[in-house]
Chains A and B, each alone.
Chain A
Amino acid sequence: MRSKEAINQLTALPPASDPLEWFERYGDYLFAYARRRIRDQSAAEDLVQETFLAALSAKQSFSGKSSEKTWLTGILKHKIYDYFAKNSRHAELTPEEADLSGYNHLFERDDEWNGHWNDKYAPADWGDDNNRASPLRNVEEDEFQTVFSNCLTGLPERIANAFVMREVDGLTSAEICVVLTISTNNYWTMMHRARLHLRQCLEINWFCAPNGSQGEKV
């Protein structure tokens, strides 16, 4: 009995076939993954739980072709999109989502060029040798992710979700419109708002932030 246990311990480490072991290894990773996409903490916890339960009942179907982490992430991703779909009850943009007036001041000028960038808010030079704009080292990557998450929370949730699906997960416009049950036009409006907001927020808090500080949140 003892020796069998010992052998198991020696052989069982890479591919752990026990869902509890999966949970120990990837639970936090999957939770962080869900939290980057879902604001409601308990909803994120529930989805992680559902993911492991699904993994448990589909254990046999795990082919070993992809890593366990990839496989589990795939299950979670589907659960997240289902969750988005369930929570996207308004086919059209809500007044709050469609409201771009919060960005009017970016283009207000006193001279004949009203409607063009106000010099105060126009995109700043991020610098060619700005190391924050080049591929990030691991440490910076963590820091950037935090700043990026903070900037996303400045957007209405569905708009943040649309941006993450598009730019992080690489879904197509058509797929995102299906998940969120929105029209293409509304999707374009969402993405424009997301880019306008994130560019400004990341400029202040990342690209042009004084070193060692994360500046103020927009």
Chain B
Amino acid sequence: MEQTFRQRLKWQAILFLARRLPPCKVLLPLVSEARERPLTMREKITLKLHLFTCEACRRYVAQVEKISELVKPKDEETSTAEPTEKLSDDARNRIKAALEAAAHNKH
């Protein structure tokens, strides 16, 4: 009984806030900008309150962070993974010839 009352209260608070805050579409650029610059106090509070009301946007924040982690190079230097794309034979021969010519001119 107690639990349901608190849940109802939370739901009322969420609705109250959500009706007064700008919608997701308007606030989402702030999620991205928070990664680029310090937000103003006003922006921080608006965003925090919105995130309290909106599960989809909470996921968005976490997923943007997750993507950022995943695309960071994992030590490409020591990676033994095959290159995702290889030079064509044409390009290979052209570059080799250019290198040979340059090396020759140098000596």
Give the B-binding residues of A (Cβ under 8 A). 19-20, 23, 27-29, 31-33, 35-36, 45, 48-49, 52-53, 56-57, 67, 69-70, 73, 106-107, 113-117, 122-126, 133, 136, 138, 141-142, 144-146, 148-149, 167-168, 170, 173, 184, 187-189, 191-192, 195-196, 198-199, 202-203, 207
Contacts and interface: CB of A to CB of B under 8 A. Distances in A.
Interface of B is mostly: helix
B21 to A, nearest CB: 10
A36 B87 contact: no
B80 A32 contact: no
A115 B74 contact: no
B66 A126 contact: yes
Given A138-B81, A167-B72, A192-B32, A123 B86 contact: no
B10 interface: no
Given A28-B86, A148-B71, A116 B103 contact: no
7 contacts: A35-B84, A52-B99, A57-B106, A113-B18, A117-B56, A195-B31, A199-B60
Contacts of B73: 168
Contact of A32 (B25, B85, B100): B85
A123 B102 contact: no
Given A53-B102, A191-B36, A146 B84 contact: yes
B65 to A, nearest CB: 10
Given A136-B70, A199-B64, A56 B102 contact: yes
B8 interface: no
A175 B104 CA distance: 38
Given A56-B102, A141-B81, A27 B67 contact: no
B2 interface: no
Contact of B106 (A36, A56, A70, A124): A56
A89 to B, nearest CB: 24
Given A116-B54, A168-B71, A199-B64, A20 B96 contact: yes
Contacts of B26: 115
Quick one: which of B71, B76, B79, B96 has the most chain A CB within 10 A? B71
B9 interface: no
A191 B63 CA distance: 15
A183 B63 CA distance: 27
B44 interface: no
Given A57-B106, A123-B60, A142-B84, A45 B95 contact: yes
B32 A149 contact: no
A52 B94 CA distance: 12
A19 B33 contact: no
Nearest to A185: B33
A167 B72 CA distance: 6
Interface in B19-74: 22-26, 28-29, 31-33, 35-37, 54, 56-57, 59-60, 63-64, 66-68, 70-74
